[in-house]
Each structure stands twice: as C-alpha cells, then as structure tokens.
C-alpha cells in the first residue's frame, strides 16, 4: 500500500471497491490505535503533545504537498481570504478536539471518548437539520431519540452529562460542517490548519523548553521520536481516507467510520481496564441501535437509487 495512493488503475468496479475498502479500514483502524499512541505519551502534558502534533504535521504535510504536486493548490487556497477565515475557525475546532482526545487517552477516558465518536454521526444529523435545514426522516427521528435517551441515562447515572463525549462529538461535527464551506483539498486544508496552530505552538513550546518543562529532549529519544512521528500518524490516515473516498460511494464509506470508536471502546475495556457499568452498556446499546437505523436507511436509499 503506497503512502500517496494514485488513482485506481483497475477497470473492474469490484476491484476498485475492494481497494477502497482496504484504505478505509486502514484509516479508521489507525485512528482507533492512536488511543494507544497518545497514552504512550502520557508523561508529556496533553497541550504540549497537541502542539507538537501541529508543528510536525505541517512539516510532514508540506513535503507531501510538494511531492504530490499540490503546491499550486496550497498557494491558491492561501489567496482566498474567505477560505482562510473559515480554516482559521476549523483550526480552532480541530485543536480543541485534538487536545481533548489526547487528554482523554492519557487520562484513561477512552470509553467516554469512544462514546463521543459514536454520537458524532447523530450530531451531524442534528447540525444538518438545525443549520442546513435538511429534512429529518422517521428513521433518523427515532435514532436521535434513542441516542438522547442513552445520553440522558448516562448523565443521571454519573450525576453530570458526559461533557467530554459531547464536546468531542460537537467540535468534530462543527469542524466537518465548516470544512464543507471551505472546499479545500483535505491535505491542503490540514496543512493550513496545522500551520495556523503552529504559529501559536512554536513560541509556546520554545518558552516551555527555555523553562525546562518541554517534552522534547527531556524524557529520552523514545519520547522525542513519538513527538516527531505525531505528524506522520496525523497525516497518513487522512491520506488513506482520501484514497478510500475516491473509490467508494459516500454512503458505503460512512459505514466504516464506526471502526474507530469500536476500536477505542475495546481498548478502553480490555487494555486500559476502564470500568464498564450496566448503565454504560445500556447507553452504548441504545446508540448502536440508533446508528444501525441510520445505516439501514442509508443502504435502503442507495438501493432505491441503484
């Protein structure tokens, strides 16, 4: 599997779909396994890890942009003030989402983080209704109701709402919505977003290093390597996702998105040993049922169109 995939050269649709499915699985599985990656950096403050991620991401992505011939696209995107303004907003949403996710993985809250990414598709449905005025079908009404019941039950059990899960779902949902308004190539958009984060990250990390509290050069070569490689593990799954999107129908691609939170769920329970209560199980079952309804409606609509 090449790092920068090209167009699927095969003429057979089944072969193209098979390759696309492979890229989708690779992307979402990598996003799930990042739960273990960020936990391996638990000795470095989450904010510092997030800022290192931004700096090394932009450097790695710029190399890929040059190699893949996307430099003119980057220059063109930088010349559009409206797009830059939107990308500045998405950079803020992405930074906050990255920070909360990294903190959750470092602090053994992977279970609640997985809940957030399960809720995310349903948040997207609600954002579509509220902001884009999209109609809400009967299936999706039931799906949203089931998810609401699940989150309410968990909130009552915990004594407070699952703020982290809701924050992750909402920030990522808003991020996706705004990115649609700035139709930049995924790699180009991420380069600009990471670059804007780096404008803040570089002076902050230099200050931390000067005070002796920085993560680089303080915990050994292993930690340094993990911080630098954060740029690679950020960009590569996005590239694979983009390759999958070129080869699969959007409705089919959407079904793969549940690999990531499922992986996080399994890591939380079976590797991290996070407590899984009866209320947690009921909540997840309700949300899984809601997602099954959305998936069923998606597949049914696609079959009708075909």
State the DSSP string of 234-276: HHHHHHHHHHHHHHS-HHHHHHHTTHHHHHHHHIIIIIS----
pLDDT tens digit sequence for 13-27: 667 777 888 888 999
Task: Using the predicted structure, report yes or no on whether residue 10 has a pLDDT greater than 50.
Answer: no
Tokens describing residue 202: 């570089």
Between 278 and 291, where is the model more confident? 278
pLDDT tens digit sequence for 167-218: 999 998 898 888 888 778 888 988 999 999 999 999 999 998 888 887 787 8
pLDDT (average), residues 256-275: 90
Lowest mean pLDDT among 105-114, 149-158, 276-285: 149-158
Q: Are the CB atoms for 98 and 238 separated by under 8 Å?
A: no
Residue 251, pLDDT score: 59
pLDDT (average), residues 239-243: 83
Residue 95, pLDDT score: 95
Residue 306, pLDDT score: 58
Cα separation of 192 and 62, whole Å?
Answer: 10
Cα separation of 187 and 229, whole Å?
Answer: 17
Q: Are the CB atoms for 172 and 187 separated by under 8 Å?
A: no
How many CA atoms are closer than 13 Å to the CA of 29, on its beta-carbon side?
6
Q: Roughly what angle, to the nearest 10 degrees, separates helices 13-39 and 81-106?
A: 60
Q: What is the pTM of this model?
A: 0.84
Between 150 and 3, where is the model more confident? 150
């Amino acid at each position: 599997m090449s790092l920068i995939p090209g167009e699927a050269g095969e003429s057979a649709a089944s072969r193209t779909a098979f390759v696309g499915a492979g890229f989708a699985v690779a992307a979402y599985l990598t996003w799930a396994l990042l739960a273990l990656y960020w936990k391996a950096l638990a000795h470095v403050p989450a904010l510092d890890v997030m800022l290192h991620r931004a700096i090394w991401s932009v450097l790695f992505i710029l190399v890929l942009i040059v190699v893949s011939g996307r430099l003119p696209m980057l220059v063109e995107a930088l010349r559009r003030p409206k797009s830059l303004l939107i990308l500045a907003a998405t950079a803020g949403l992405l930074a906050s989402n990255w920070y909360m996710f990294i903190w959750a993985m470092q602090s053994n809250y992977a279970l609640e983080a997985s809940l957030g990414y399960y809720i995310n598709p349903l948040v997207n449905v609600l954002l579509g209704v509220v902001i884009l005025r999209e109609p809400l079908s009967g299936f999706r009404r039931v799906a949203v109701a089931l998810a609401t019941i699940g989150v309410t039950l968990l909130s009552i059990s915990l004594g407070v709402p699952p703020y982290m899960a809701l924050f992750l779902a909402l920030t990522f949902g808003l991020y996706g919505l705004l990115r649609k308004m700035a139709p930049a190539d995924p790699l180009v958009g991420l380069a600009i977003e990471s670059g804007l984060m780096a404008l803040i990250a570089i002076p902050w990390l230099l200050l931390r290093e000067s005070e002796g509290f920085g993560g680089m050069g303080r915990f050994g070569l292993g930690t340094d390597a993990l911080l630098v490689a954060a740029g690679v593990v950020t960009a590569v799954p996005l590239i694979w996702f983009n390759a999958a999107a070129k080869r699969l129908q959007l409705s089919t691609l959407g079904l793969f998105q549940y690999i990531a939170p499922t992986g996080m769920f399994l890591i939380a329970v079976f590797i991290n040993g996070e407590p899984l209560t009866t209320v947690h199980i009921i909540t997840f079952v309700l949300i899984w049922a809601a997602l099954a309804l959305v998936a069923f409606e998606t597949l049914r609509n696609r079959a009708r169109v075909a």
